Amino acid sequence: MEEKNRRLDETALRRLLEQEQTGPEALVLRLAWLEGLTREEIAALTWDQISFLDNRLELPGRMVPLDQEMRAFLWKLQEAREARGEPGDPHVLLSARERKPMRLESISRIARLALDRGGLKGVRLLDLRYDWIIRCLDRMDWPEAARVSGVEVATLQLRFSASAPARKAPKSPAAQVDEFKLWKLLQAERDTAAGLAMWMGWQLGLQAQEMIALTWEQVDFQEGVLHLPDRSVAITSALRRILEEEHRRRDPEEDPHVLLTEQSRKPLDLPRLSRLTRAALIRGGLERATLRDLKRDDCRDIEDERILRQALEQGFVSRGDVSELLSLSKTATYARLRRLTEHGRLVRVGGKYYLPGTVVPPERHREAILEYLAGAGFAYRQDIVDLLHIQPKQCTLVLHRMVEEGALVQLGQKYFLPEREKRKAE
């Protein structure tokens, strides 16, 4: 995979940017290569996300330092639009002709054409972002690069360790935890303070002191985030459901702390939390584990990296792949893949699991297909395979379901929108 993360020809890219000074292509290329924005972020970028005062792009989930060349380009673009008196569409990227926000497919197309013109054939829009990440790693450590790129440290190390300068990985010894036993224990204890603490330790890596200090005011259900004094932590969907259930059970007059004693309904202290979780772990057959051990399991992390590496090299992994790779039972394999999916490190499509960003997630399949057909008129199955980046058999199931629901019309090997096919018949 080193070839995919190769360094790009900086001289050729600089020469291309000098040629592309106006138009959507110039903006797309700069946002991807100078700021590391994804195609989706480029399409969604609005002027209020650009802070010229603080020299940064304020994207959902991350802040990206604003390169001085990019700053000057955006400033000039904003002044030109104001001088032309254009309507106040908040999006930064607008189509040259219609002056409307650009579709994702159009962004990829104009970037590819511009790169081809510049002699950079075979270079994708995504490769520009990868090159930006590699350049970030030249001057940043892994955690800082993770903050500005929006990619977690483990995934960065998996993808870019061969391209980035050698760095020592942080060491944190921990006991090995039987993940299947832990999963069964968490299900059994989900309604107890000990169970909630173990969930927060296992899925969010919270320290015991953070758990006992946590109040409901710090739990943002709408955004899915815990606001801690020194950072914000995204809540996994499984833990979010458990917290919502616990919150609904609470009396409005009760103490606002999330973890309370069962009888007196007072905030837990560290000794009591330690005793409760220790007793629960023993009941679950995890006698040698402690609450602290749930925060990080080095063996599990290594195995997770093996799964993610195979998904990267193969394009996806299946339960059978993981079971064979790690010699796990079917149940343990399912628990492992479910956890990686809950953490957003894998995306499940049917029986296959993909790395985030390499596949269109299932919840967007319908929207992506309809949007594509609205512009293209019709599509073959392979067109949709390329659009969604999934396997042909999976694509067939998606298309078949949409045809059955009446969302698509199939004629031979082509797929149409119902309205378009109706007009064609008339």
Q: What is the DSSP string of 240-259?
A: HHHHHHHHHHS-TTS-SBSS
The pLDDT-based confidence of 295 (bands split at 50, 70, 90) is low
Q: Nearest 5°: phi and psi at 5?
A: -105, 30
Name the pairing type of β-strands 50-51 and 232-234: unpaired
Q: What is the pLDDT of residues 233-279, one digit of tens each?
A: 888 777 888 999 999 999 989 999 999 998 889 999 888 888 888 88
Q: Which helix (H) or strand (E) holds 348?
A: strand 347-349
Structural domains in the chain, sorted by start: 10-160 (1.10.443.10), 179-294 (1.10.443.10), 301-354 (1.10.10), 362-425 (1.10.10.10)
For residue 44, is pLDDT > 60? yes
Please report the pLDDT score of residue 301 as a whole number.
Answer: 67
Q: What is the pLDDT of residues 218-231, one digit of tens each?
A: 999 988 889 988 78
3-state secondary structure of 46: strand
3-state secondary structure of 50: strand
The pLDDT-based confidence of 1 (bands split at 50, 70, 90) is very low
Predicted model pTM: 0.43
* Integer CA distances (angstroms), 36 to 32, 87, 233, 318, 403, in order: 5, 28, 23, 30, 38
349 vs 360: CA distance, rounded Å: 9
For residue 55, is pLDDT > 50? yes
For residue 284, is pLDDT > 60? yes
6 vs 347: CA distance, rounded Å: 25
Q: How many other C-beta atoms are found inside a 10 Å radius of the C-beta of residue 301?
A: 14
The pLDDT-based confidence of 87 (bands split at 50, 70, 90) is low
b/e string for 303-314 if b means 16 or more Cβ within 10 A? bbeebbbbbbee
238 vs 200: CA distance, rounded Å: 11
